Amino acid sequence: MGLDWNPIGKSQAGHEEEFEKLFNLLGDNPVAGSLLGKFRQLFHRFDRDEATKRWFEIQISPFVTVQAPQVGIDPRADEWAKARYRENPPEDKTEVQFLEELKGYYVVALAPQCDGIPYYSNGSAGYVELYSFRAEFITNDCKDIVGKELLEKCYHSCLAPGLASLGTELRACANNFASKHDVSHVESVRELDAPEGSPESKAHILFAAAKWCEYWSSRGHGLEAYF
């Protein structure tokens, strides 16, 4: 499957401390993976389902941040859902029933274009959203550029400050590599037409990754490393 980055929700105002505590309790962060973290978990029993439920209750979804319209609320999303129904109508559902079942569904494909909805994504495959970044491009095409230490960071989930730091490091790599190979112009291009493995292609991947990290972290969202 490879590595994908998903933005995680951000804390609602006034719940920042609780949100971070729940993230540390539920996530795969370095503290939780340390010997001290494992020792604490042995003596701190908790209901994971309840903790997960509460974590989602106090967060703002990435869907909201990218302004994805919702079926049953936004006419554009309703038209999108109707088109899906007409393309392949289920035998056991009317269009009205189909729309009712999809009520509240966020349609990222209709959200405004932004760096948080990247060119490099496996969203079309269906197992992640369109706002997910296909970080496997970094591990396959750019691992010699980013180096072992930064590559390892790409596999760790983190909150917004950690994602901002990751973005800073990726941008530095992108700038250095692009300057060295005289391909800095690709930073301003969203869809690049260049041979796979070329300097243009590698720089484009790194710039896109940095922009994705910057977009989400600057809006308070962290990262789920999904692999």
Q: How far apart, in whole angstroms, are the C-alpha atoms of residue 140 and residue 62?
A: 27
Closest CA to 131 of 211, 207, 12, 51: 211
pLDDT digits (tens, 9 = 90+) for 36-74: 444 445 445 678 899 999 999 999 999 999 999 999 999
Q: Which helix (H) or strand (E) holds 4?
A: strand 4-7
* Domain ranges across the chain: 4-64+132-226, 65-115
CB atoms within 10 A of CB 37: 14
Residue 43: what pLDDT? 46
pLDDT digits (tens, 9 = 90+) for 151-207: 999 999 999 999 999 999 999 999 999 999 999 999 999 999 999 999 999 999 999
Residue 45: what pLDDT? 62
pLDDT digits (tens, 9 = 90+) for 98-127: 999 999 999 999 999 999 999 999 999 999
Distances from the Cα of 93 to the Cα of 70, 90, 106, 146, angstroms: 20, 6, 21, 50
pLDDT band at 28 (very low <50, low <70, confident <90, very high): low
Residue 44: what pLDDT? 55
Residue 47: what pLDDT? 86
Q: How far apart, in whole angstroms, are the C-alpha atoms of residue 218 and residue 149?
A: 23
SS (HEC) of 27-74: CCCHHHHCHHHHHHHHHCCCCHHHHHHHHHHCEECHHHHCCCCECCCC
Q: Which of 91-95, 113-117, 145-149, 220-224 has the lowest mean pLDDT?
A: 91-95
Q: State the DSSP code for 184.
A: G
Task: Please provide residue 206's backbone torsions phi and psi, each rounded to the nearest 5 degrees.
Answer: -65, -40
